[in-house]
Amino acid sequence: MKNLYKIIIIAVVFILSIFILLLIVRPVLIRSGSHIAQLTEEKAKNITLNSELDNYVSARDDYYLINAKYQKLNMELPEKSDLSILTNELYEIARYTIVDIENISFDEKEIDEDEIRKTPVKEIKIDIVLRGSYYEILNYINTMEIMPRLIKIEDVVIQTSGGDYDNLLAFIIAKTYFVNKYYK
Amino acid sequence: MTTKLINLLPKEEKKRDIRSIVINVFMVLVLIMFLATILLTFFLFDIDNLLSSRLSDYEGTNIKVQDQVNKLKVYSEFRKNTDDKSGIIEDLKENELYWSRVLYDIGKLMPEDAYAISFDAMGSQLYSYIEDYKEGDVDEGRQVISFVIHGQAANYMDVLKLSIELKKINNIEAVWIENITRTVVQGIDLEIVSFSISTYWDLDNFTGDIDKKTNTQDEDILDEEISDI
């Protein structure tokens, strides 16, 4: 074969090789690089998701237990003021402890606009005036303290009325709470 | 008609055609390079296909897992809400006073010849003190009143007995006899004493937990700072 033909073949093959490298190999390499990066990302995401999933699965497994706890907590600290239920409970306790309620009043504490998002609960002040013997009043206060709804008794004044020790007059100031829906 | 020259000179005498050798070598090299490029191309395509299929597998799995995570997230949020609520209730219950226990103790400790005319329990003062304490806004040596009893007794000894007994009530630090006044009951001409006793809280019992909590929080902050360093 003449040298000239050989040179032409060399040139053609060389140019062809360069074209293959530039037009096929290079794009494939770039694509593979991006695939590797994506794959690394997806692998990391997969690990994170799996560990998240494990946590959530354990939360799901405990759902009934947590739900029971939540229901109990909801009774202690309801989502709404539920004053009708509370009033009924206070009268029921009075009936059970044989005291006479003379007066009940409720007063919701106002929260400043700046504080409304920072305060998790709203407060209701309860004033109760009741009549009964010392141990009946004690029993009433005790039942209030252990009732399902959270009630904090702050002040108690017990007085005799006309020297009748079976008919004492008690003034109770207590506080109860409910969830502040504006709390963030 | 083409003619071909035949070199019949002995090998030693023949002239070496270096250009031809170089061209041949180049041609071989270029051919090898070409073949290598072709092979590399196939190899890369193969790898790329493998990567693509692995990637789509991972993407498919991740989409499924993400879907599950989204579904189960509700449970986790529910658990968090429950824990938050539990924390709020715990804070509200902290240092809660149980007046029924105090009333029960007073009834039990009252001497036979003494009785109360009025009982005045002032829990709101303690709650305000605790709030002030949390904000570091309390004076040293401040006393907080717990309850006041006004009553009558046969004689001053009964009042003293009562004041000693009242100290046994939980969280009471000091009992202060405000006054003892001689009184004559009209009609039956009986001499008795009227008294007034105030009691004060043992504040350390209420602030101890707050101090412990503050110390723990401080230690946590310190630990975080150290780990940051």
Which residue shows structure tokens 């010392």?
Answer: A134
State yes or no: pLDDT of A113 exceeds 70. yes
State yes or no: pLDDT of B1 exceeds 60. no
State yes or no: pLDDT of B154 exceeds 80. yes
**Per-residue pLDDT averaged across B46-50, rounded?**
93
Residue B57 binned pLDDT confidence (cut-offs 50, 70, 90): very high
**Distance between CA atoms of residues B144 and B199, nearest Å:** 9
- Report how far apart, in Å, the C-alpha atoms of B144 and of each of A29, B90, B179 are: 80, 24, 19
Residue A1 binned pLDDT confidence (cut-offs 50, 70, 90): low
Residue B60 binned pLDDT confidence (cut-offs 50, 70, 90): very high
* pTM of structure: 0.73
Query: What is the pLDDT at residue A23?
Result: 92
- Tens-digit pLDDT profile for residues A127-139: 999 999 999 999 9
Residue A35 binned pLDDT confidence (cut-offs 50, 70, 90): very high
Q: Where are the beta strands (DSSP E) in chain B?
A: 114-122, 145-153, 172-185, 190-201
Nearest to A36 among B51, B107, B127 (CB): B51
DSSP secondary structure letter of residue A167: E
Flag the least confident range among A19-33, B5-19, B71-85, B142-156: B5-19
**Distance between CA atoms of residues B130 and B207, nearest Å:** 7
What are the chain B neighbours of A14 within 8 Å (beta carbons)?
Answer: 30, 33-34
Burial of A164 (C-beta count, 10 Å sphere; 0-12/13-18/19+): exposed
Mean pLDDT of chain A: 91
**H or E stretch at A173:** strand A164-179
- ipTM comes to 0.76
State yes or no: pLDDT of B214 exceeds 90. no
- Tens-digit pLDDT profile for residues B27-44: 899 999 999 999 999 999
The A residues from 98 to 137 touching B (CB cutoff 8 Å) are: 120-121, 134-135, 137
How many angstroms away from the CA of B139 is the closest CA of chain A? 22
Nearest to B44 among A28, A42, A173 (CB): A28
Nearest to B145 by CA among B97, B193, B111: B97
State yes or no: pLDDT of A149 exceeds 90. yes
- Tens-digit pLDDT profile for residues B180-204: 999 888 788 888 999 999 999 999 8
- Report how far apart, in Å, the C-alpha atoms of B211 and of each of A121, B88, B95, B132, B136 are: 24, 19, 13, 13, 11
Query: What is the pLDDT at residue B229?
Result: 67
Query: What is the pLDDT at residue A83?
Result: 93
- Residues B81, A70: C-beta atoms closer than 8 Å: yes
**Distance between CA atoms of residues B88 and B90, nearest Å:** 5
Mean pLDDT of chain B: 88
Percent of chain A with pLDDT over 90: 68
- Tens-digit pLDDT profile for residues B73-82: 888 889 899 9
- Beta-carbon contacts below 8 Å between A and B: 177
